Structure 1
Amino acid sequence: MKILLLPGDGIGPEIMAEAEKLLAALDLPVTLDHALVGGAAYAATGYPLPAETLEKAKAADAILFGAVGDPRFDTVERHLRPEQAILGLRAELGLFANLRPARLFSGLEDSSALRPEVASAIDLLIVRELNGDVYFGEKGMRTTDSGEKQGYDIMAYSESEVRRIAHVAFKAAQGRRGRLCSVDKANVLETSQLWRDVVTDVARDYPDVTLSHMYVDNAAMQLVRNPGQFDVIVTGNLFGDILSDQASMCVGSIGLLASASLSAGTQGLYEPIHGSAPDIAGQGIANPLAMILSLAMLLRHSGGDEANAARIEAAVAQVLADGCRGADLGGTMGTAALGDAVVAALN
């Protein structure tokens, strides 16, 4: 399997080094390549997603992605900002389905923002549509008739876009506990009404899955009130972005959540859901566990290697159960020390 490593910006290179350390310990038959992306690529080439990087990405079986975002480039034209690299990869590679699992690891009950008895029930999967919504809709600045500036971003989904993400979500629910909650805002948004209608129609193909619907504001409340009620959540790009970050704090830290962005085939891009964290970059204190868990998802979904994916996840669970903590969880272990602990648990 050919894996492209894109460390990116901020803490990206530091946590990527720990994923490479784990890959070396597993001694798998893989070929690794590296490329620039985000602010690092812009600084070197003038583009956040250079043609060479995109070419390597298209040729890879899977991509392991660190993070993008660099405050030095916050004032450049929007299409040249580091964050455009990940949007470009999603669009160019057809990565439309984002899987974001969230569960509370044993021993972290007191790290959650929720009461321990509430947090301990968290074991859910958010399936987020990744190629539509306001992030990819028409956008711009214009002047109104009264002469004031107005920004606009158009939210839109086609029936086929909703249908294909719904199938991914229903199949995921079939492999879990058989419950799917579709999150929208159909009471005020036409886009959400179409979403709800299509998901309801797709449900006919999955009689073994129980489908429910929930407005996004209620879903945000329920994630902190009773997160144990959720098995699989399917939602659009904007709502999924927000709810998955909320879920990360319910399980203790955003440094623990991995994600997979999948195409219609087996190619995928795997990344921690946190950002580049430039305020702690280079200090060796970033939590690498979300990156390591992203590697597990890569092996499972693009490599078909369930055994080693489960080994990595078990090693991370063991490390946390043993009390290993980074700064984000109130501990003192650094990035490299946490990576070493996972390798030791793996062996």
Structure 2
Amino acid sequence: MTQNIAVLAGDGIGPEIVNEAIKVLNVLKQEGLSIDLHEGLVGGAAYDETGSPLPEATLALAKQADAILLGAVGGYKWESLDISVRPEKGLLGLRSALNLFANLRPAILYPQLADASTLKPDVVAGLDLMIVRELTGGIYFGQPRGIRTLDDGEQQGFNTLIYRESEIERIGRVAFEIARKRGSRVCSVDKANVLECTELWRNVMTRIAADYPDVELTHMYVDNAAMQLVRAPKQFDVMVTTNMFGDILSDCASMLTGSIGMLPSASLDANRKGMYEPIHGSAPDIAGENKANPLATILSAAMMLRYTLGEADRADRIEQAVSRVLDQGLRTADIFSEGMTLVSTSEMGDAVVAAL
């Protein structure tokens, strides 16, 4: 049965890095992988064309697809737009409309890149952790929100941090199930000492842990978690946390691996339909210069094969091909070090294709 993939390249370096992932998928198609790719507009590119960062045609395409491969959204040229039509609203709209509540962000240090990390090799060598981020609730979606003028004429910005018990439970169960297939340890990150919303978060995590007696649950305040990620990151197996905390901690974890350009992500619904994207942004400063690292996007395509398309063996092959390319000493600028070979975006993609 042919599975349909919505390809949303987006803005900035998005089209460049997605193009390299498509090269890899096309190799697998030639070998028998039954997928069809369908392109759509999202983000700033969609706004320029249609006046909306998430056109109805794109949303319909995404809903009909079995999986979505996304590049990046946003950039300087759209920062002056009203917040309701900024490129990021297209991304948030997809997550909400498709109910992609579970964001999986692995942070794995390839041994070839130990020197690219800003931390000492002995601190990060062998790093392999998974951050499970709740993606459709919390302060990014909570109402009421806005900017208002007070009686004295001063402006005030306000947002609402809100979670229902059911939202916490479903993301918690995703984390526990993943931990069962890894090191059987979950660290739930909150700020329960000052935020009632995350006090509830901690209570729910503690309750559902009883259903997973084979998994160890610990709790950690988010400020301590940020410090511990830098001090001793290998203490973690699976971290589960709120939308905003997960956004921040996963970017912190990315630098443990040498570059944010190396980290893929998956955003899944209850049936494991997903949207797959690198965790980095659109990098408008290097857009169109053939400099960006496409490996996070290529690895996102591997996650798509593993989690949604049921093609774990082919996902393994892509990941092994990336490792072989790194063994060859090929590096884009973000992971380059002395003695390595500097390559462009397209050259890195071609090298992964050759390794396949």
- TM-score between both structures, scaled by the size of structure 1: 0.98
**How do residues 63-82 of structure 1 correspond to structure 2 at under 5 angstroms?**
63-82=68-87
> Is this contact kept in 2: 1:272–1:294, CA < 8 A?
yes
Partner of 2:14: 12
Partner of 1:117: 122
The counterpart of 1:332, out of the listed 308, 322, 342, is 342
Find out whether 1:207 has 2:213 as its counterpart.
Answer: yes
Structure 1: how far apart are the matches of 2:297 and 2:273?
Answer: 18
Gap runs ≥5 in structure 1: none
**How do residues 140-289 of structure 1 correspond to structure 2 at under 5 angstroms?**
140-289=146-295
Query: Across the two proteins, how many residue pairs are aligned to each other?
Result: 346
Please say which of residues 314-323 and 98-107 is displaced more in the overlay.
314-323
> Is this contact kept in 2: 1:61–1:266, CA < 8 A?
no
**Secondary structure of 1:128's partner?**
strand
Q: Deviations over 1:268-314 (max 9, x none)?
A: 00000000000000000110000000000000111011000011111
Structure 1: how far apart are the matches of 2:328 and 2:265?
Answer: 24
> Is this contact kept in 2: 1:121–1:227, CA < 8 A?
no
Instruction: In structure 1, give the amino acid aligned to 2:8.
Output: L
Q: Give the CA deviation at 1:343.
A: 1.1
Structure 2: how far apart are the matches of 1:299 and 1:239?
Answer: 27
Structure 1: how far apart are the matches of 2:182 and 2:176?
Answer: 10
Partner of 2:26: 24
**Secondary structure of 1:233's partner?**
strand
Q: Give the CA deviation at 1:260.
A: 0.2
Structure 2: how far apart are the matches of 1:114 and 1:74?
Answer: 33
**Secondary structure of 1:69's partner?**
coil
The counterpart of 1:343, out of the listed 317, 329, 353, is 353
The counterpart of 2:56, out of the listed 38, 51, 57, is 51
Structure 2: how far apart are the matches of 1:91 and 1:50?
Answer: 14
CA RMSD between the two structures: 0.8
Q: Deviations over 1:68-126 (max 9, x none)?
A: 00221111111111110010000000000000000110111110011000011311000
Partner of 1:38: 43
Q: Give the CA deviation at 1:142.
A: 1.4
**How do residues 87-102 of structure 1 correspond to structure 2 at under 5 angstroms?**
87-102=92-107
Instruction: In structure 1, give the amino acid aligned to 2:290.
Output: G
Q: Give the CA deviation at 1:344.
A: 1.3
Instruction: In structure 2, give the amino acid aligned to 1:79.
Output: S
Find out whether 1:3 has 2:8 as its counterpart.
Answer: no
Structure 1: how far apart are the matches of 2:86 and 2:283?
Answer: 16
> Is this contact kept in 2: 1:326–1:335, CA < 8 A?
yes
- TM-score between both structures, scaled by the size of structure 2: 0.96
Instruction: In structure 2, give the amino acid aligned to 1:189.
Output: L
Partner of 1:133: 138
Work out the percentage of aligned pairs sharing the same amino acid. Answer: 60
Q: Give the CA deviation at 1:211.
A: 0.3
Q: Give the CA deviation at 1:174.
A: 0.3
